[in-house]
């Protein structure tokens, strides 16, 4: 979602620079998104749900890793005791490589699932933020609201962060 906000901010800045020569008075404000989002109740809920989901996935991976380690130790013990034929050693080695590849694949899939879950849970949050920004812009007759971190230069300006927080019901 940060990429979407970044792209939106860059697009807005480009539009501003392209059409900034209009004779109509334009009011530009900025917000500090990083001061708003972490204070939103929806963000706190989403963050805790993502963390819980991540812990679930981590537990599953750790269980499979322990299983692979147990098998490895068993094979090593049998190998040291001379209980394995060369063919059994090759089969055990192949199985260990397969288990390792499977673990890596599952870890990658877990990362993707976690990213999808985070996107799913934060989408409504950013929609709520967008609606609040639009409301503040309309109520205060701001032509543009940019994110402060994307301003290349600013000498003062209108900080609308507190107004957006108020629109979201965040006490500041």
Q: Mean pLDDT, 10 residues at a time, over the chain (172 residues)?
A: 51 52 72 94 94 96 94 90 89 93 95 96 95 96 92 83 92 71
Residue 32 CB contacts under 8 Å (≥ 6 apart), including other chains: 147, 148, 149, 159, 161
Q: What local confidence, expressed as pLDDT, does residue 17 receive?
A: 53
Residue 57 CB contacts under 8 Å (≥ 6 apart), including other chains: 110, 113, 114
User: C-alpha 108: how far from its chain's center?
Assistant: 16
Secondary structure string (H, E, C) spanning 101-163: HHHHHHHHHHHHHHHHHHHHHHHHHHHHHHHHHHHHHHHHCCCEEEEHHHCCCCCCCEECHHH
User: C-alpha 116: how far from its chain's center?
Assistant: 9
**Residue 53: which domain range?**
2-168
Q: What local confidence, expressed as pLDDT, does residue 18 receive?
A: 54
Q: What local confidence, expressed as pLDDT, does residue 117 receive?
A: 96
Q: What is the CATH number of the domain that holds 73?
A: 3.30.910.20
| pTM: predicted TM-score of the whole model, two decimal places | 0.67
- For the stretch 58-68, pLDDT in tens is 999 999 999 99
Query: Residue 89, Cβ neighbours under 10 Å: how many?
Result: 13
Cβ 133 vs Cβ 146: under 8 Å: no
Number of H helices and number of E strands within the chain? Answer: 5, 3
Q: What local confidence, expressed as pLDDT, does residue 8 receive?
A: 45
- For the stretch 24-41, pLDDT in tens is 678 899 999 999 999 999
The total domain count for the chain is 1
Q: What local confidence, expressed as pLDDT, does residue 156 receive?
A: 79
């Amino acid at each position: 979602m940060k990429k979407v906000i970044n792209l939106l901010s860059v697009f807005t800045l480009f539009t501003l620079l392209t059409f900034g020569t209009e004779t109509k008075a334009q009011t530009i404000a900025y917000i500090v998104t990083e001061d708003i989002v972490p204070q939103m109740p929806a963000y706190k809920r989403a963050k805790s749900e993502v963390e819980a989901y991540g812990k679930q996935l981590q537990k599953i991976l750790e269980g499979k890793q322990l299983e692979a380690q147990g098998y490895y130790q068993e094979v090593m013990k049998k190998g040291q005791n001379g209980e394995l034929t060369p063919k059994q050693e090759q089969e055990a080695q192949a199985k260990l490589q397969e288990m390792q590849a499977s673990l890596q694949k599952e870890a990658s899939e877990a990362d993707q699932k976690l990213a999808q879950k985070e996107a799913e849970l934060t989408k409504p949050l950013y929609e709520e933020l967008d609606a609040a920004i639009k409301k503040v812009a309309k109520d205060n007759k701001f032509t543009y609201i940019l994110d402060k971190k994307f301003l290349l230069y600013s000498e003062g300006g209108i900080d609308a962060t507190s107004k957006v927080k108020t629109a979201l019901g965040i006490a500041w």
